[in-house]
A and B are shown apart, each in its own frame.
Chain A
């Protein structure tokens, strides 16, 4: 393969990977924006989304088939369900802890993550579940570069979801309330914004986006298991940090950058693909140490 081939090939891989990262990173960043909580359970919502997408697809595939239309229906159902799960988690686990020390709420989030993982572990017995679809293998040949239709649909879907989110946050009344809460929760409350509702909707949207990514990833890679949310949760956090945590465009940008970095990172001589994850964590640590505010983040003076 020529150098150009390798570059364009990895560009496509990076875009696909980056779309997943960006969708999950958005939820991280939105939730962090409103309640300043690192939701450790977010990666597990992606995993739950994958499983609920799989169950929905099994339920609807006899009517709409198991190709993209069926997957979209399943994805939609999974998004709604996981959105509500996210809202319930916030109400039950995080809401009573908002005034508690930061360490306590972080550990609560960790506990929620373990509950989700172990529930699915108990239900599936820890086995990989095959995510069967009727997706084809067709694609476009652009010179020597092959892009499958699946990859195109996937990246386009992620793009549409992100544009919809962008419009919602920037063009609607509710989106304005959301931005206000993320700047100053107490002041927003004084000005008559229903802060509880804003937090609930934020959890709903963030969790739904993770579920969308989970369903698409399950369909694309063909299998799901209870631990699949752990690594992507970490990496999506990395993406959110690269972009600047709290910043929605930052999460999208960070996701794409991390996806591309990882795809190209595997091409560096002596760094085989088995070092891919080490590579992303090294990037995470470097960004946090050198530029903790990220690319598009606002600087913050807060400590601990």
Chain B
């Protein structure tokens, strides 16, 4: 077992070393970009819609990765921030006639405030308590959306308009596909920059040893709160475009299952590692599509897979080097 492990570690190290030459890396990135650009023309509309969904999950998973992977906080109510983004757009554009591009910053601010409200009092709690509190918060948001008149109760909001961008009416599935491509690429760049930033190193420190981190002068609660708020902003932006894409939102889009799916994307690929998280997001969306012919059993098969991955590769399919625990 250990020998096998060291072989795979060496192998993955060698593959990783290959990727570190600039030519290979930029070549790979160019290849991915070309693939993304031609996908709608080559694979047709069905694949485009599914890819759009997968790219939305890339944004959401990278956002949750800031909270879970970078800062090491388990959040089981992440869909709540996604809901805040989507509902802010829905309410502002429908009820108040606000332009989408003006509503978008409001959604971001709203989610950031939600992040502070839930994070502020709870970040001092132990990780398993935090998990439950975030779960409870997620359910409170969903139940509120279902009970309030302004959020359209159980039937939700519909007729949310599609935005214009400098004369480009973002309307067809292909248009939205390219918008989500842009969002996903943006999310990747922001994640990479965050990981290398002073804040990113502070998260790493807090994740490994909170007490020592604090002794070294890191404000534990402040950096955790920052992770929370940044994660919430990712989700709000994803939620805003999600609402514009579908034109209709309902409370059931923001259920606990949604939070779990996003979390699965983060965990499956390898917490904290950006390519791993992207891989995870694709697995979560494309996996059930590929298993579609299993019918009712597909979610069960999927859950068993998650369990097996946790038992045999607890740090994910494509973990960060040096974090095999």
Bound CA–CA A234/B72 (angstroms): 22
Are B310's CB and A108's CB within 8 A?
yes
B residues near A126, Cβ cutoff 8 Å: 296
Are B267's CB and A100's CB within 8 A?
no
Are B310's CB and A111's CB within 8 A?
yes
The smallest beta-carbon distance between B218 and chain A, in angstroms, is 14
Which of A112-120, A156-164, A166-174, A254-262 participates in binding chain B? A112-120
Residue of B nearest to A113 (CB): B303
B236 within 8 A of A: no
A residues near B222, Cβ cutoff 8 Å: none
Bound CA–CA A122/B121 (angstroms): 40
Are A122's CB and B263's CB within 8 A?
no
Residue of A nearest to B137 (CB): A285
* A 79-118 binary contact with B (CB < 8 Å = 1; else 0): 0000000000000010011001111101110111011011
Are B131's CB and A106's CB within 8 A?
yes
The smallest beta-carbon distance between A36 and chain B, in angstroms, is 8
A275 within 8 A of B: yes
Are A104's CB and B210's CB within 8 A?
no
Bound CA–CA A103/B128 (angstroms): 8
Bound CA–CA A304/B130 (angstroms): 9
Q: A275-B147, A282-B140, A289-B122 are in contact. Are A93 and B307 (CB under 8 A)?
A: yes
Residue of B nearest to A100 (CB): B314
A38 within 8 A of B: yes
Of listed B129, B137, B302, residue having the most chain A CB within 10 A: B129
- B279-313 with Cβ < 8 A to chain A: 296-297, 299-300, 302-304, 306-307, 310-311
Report how many A-B pairs have Cβ atoms within 8 Å.
122
Are B131's CB and A292's CB within 8 A?
no
* B 264-287 binary contact with A (CB < 8 Å = 1; else 0): 000100010000000000000000
Q: A101-B325, A278-B140 are in contact. Are A284 and B311 (CB under 8 A)?
A: no
B9 within 8 A of A: no
Bound CA–CA A278/B147 (angstroms): 10
Question: Which residue of B122, B129, B210, B260 contacts A114 across the interface (Cβ within 8 Å)?
Answer: B260
Are A122's CB and B144's CB within 8 A?
no
Are B143's CB and A104's CB within 8 A?
no
* B 108-145 binary contact with A (CB < 8 Å = 1; else 0): 00000000000001100111110111011101100110
A281 within 8 A of B: yes
Bound CA–CA A277/B143 (angstroms): 8
Question: Which residue of B125, B127, B136 contacts A292 across the interface (Cβ within 8 Å)?
Answer: B125
B256 within 8 A of A: yes
* A 273-303 binary contact with B (CB < 8 Å = 1; else 0): 0110110011011001100100000000011
* B 177-204 binary contact with A (CB < 8 Å = 1; else 0): 0000000000000000000000000000
Of listed A96, A107, A114, A289, residue having the most chain B CB within 10 A: A107
A76 within 8 A of B: no
- A133-167 with Cβ < 8 A to chain B: none
Are A103's CB and B74's CB within 8 A?
yes
Dominant secondary structure at the B interface: helix
Are B263's CB and A107's CB within 8 A?
yes
Interface size on A, residues (CB 8 A): 43
A65 within 8 A of B: no
Are A119's CB and B300's CB within 8 A?
yes
Bound CA–CA A96/B314 (angstroms): 11
Bound CA–CA A11/B325 (angstroms): 50
* B 43-85 binary contact with A (CB < 8 Å = 1; else 0): 0000000000000000000000000100010101000000000
A60 within 8 A of B: no
A121 within 8 A of B: yes
Are A104's CB and B300's CB within 8 A?
no
The smallest beta-carbon distance between A132 and chain B, in angstroms, is 24
Are B310's CB and A107's CB within 8 A?
yes
The smallest beta-carbon distance between B257 and chain A, in angstroms, is 9
Question: Which residue of A115, A121, A241, A288 contacts B307 across the interface (Cβ within 8 Å)?
Answer: A115
Residue of A nearest to B206 (CB): A304
A264 within 8 A of B: no
A residues near B271, Cβ cutoff 8 Å: 103
A residues near B136, Cβ cutoff 8 Å: 234, 238, 281, 284-285
A125 within 8 A of B: yes
Are B127's CB and A304's CB within 8 A?
yes
- B77-107 with Cβ < 8 A to chain A: none
B residues near A234, Cβ cutoff 8 Å: 132, 135-136, 139
A21 within 8 A of B: no
Bound CA–CA A237/B306 (angstroms): 24
Are A97's CB and B129's CB within 8 A?
no
A-B pairs with beta carbons under 8 Å apart, 9 shown: A100-B314, A107-B267, A107-B310, A114-B307, A234-B139, A275-B147, A278-B140, A278-B147, A302-B126
Given A114-B302, A118-B300, 10 other A-B residues pairs in contact with their CB atoms under 8 A: A93-B311, A114-B306, A121-B299, A122-B300, A284-B136, A285-B122, A288-B122, A288-B125, A288-B132, A289-B133
